[in-house]
Amino acid sequence: MSQLDIQINGRHYNIACDDGQEEHLQKLGRFFGDRVEELAAAMGQVGDARLMLMAGLMVADELSDAYAEVEKLKEDMITLQKNATQVMPDQGTMEIFANMTNRIEAIAARLEQPVET
């Protein structure tokens, strides 16, 4: 376990994390700290607890929007895949078409042969 010092709104917080996760946690701390600073600049110092709560809600709202966008993209991808299979048949359908084509060509070849009398 590693220990990190993360500074948010001028206060230092000692945070534990798994080894190897230090850089990621520092990045998250900076991201969250930036949100707290944005709020403090807009609203003034209304107390750490309130700033943290409001910043947490802002981040949760951003996360909610991101989840909604991912779901929309998944739905769009499924629609595109369905449309693509209508335009481009899957391998099984392609094999059926190939077999049918071979049979039609064989029948055509027999039809083109002269009829013996």
- Give yes or no for a contact between 48 and 33, defined as CB atoms under 8 angstroms apart: no
Q: What phi and psi, each to the nearest 5 degrees, are found at residue 12? A: -100, 135
Total-model pTM: 0.62
Domain limits, the chain: 2-80
Return per-residue pLDDT of the chain as tens, 117 residues. Answer: 899 999 999 999 999 999 999 999 999 999 999 999 999 999 887 888 999 999 999 999 999 999 999 988 988 888 887 776 666 666 777 787 787 888 888 787 777 766 553
- Give yes or no for a contact between 33 and 7, defined as CB atoms under 8 angstroms apart: yes
- Give yes or no for a contact between 8 and 36, defined as CB atoms under 8 angstroms apart: yes
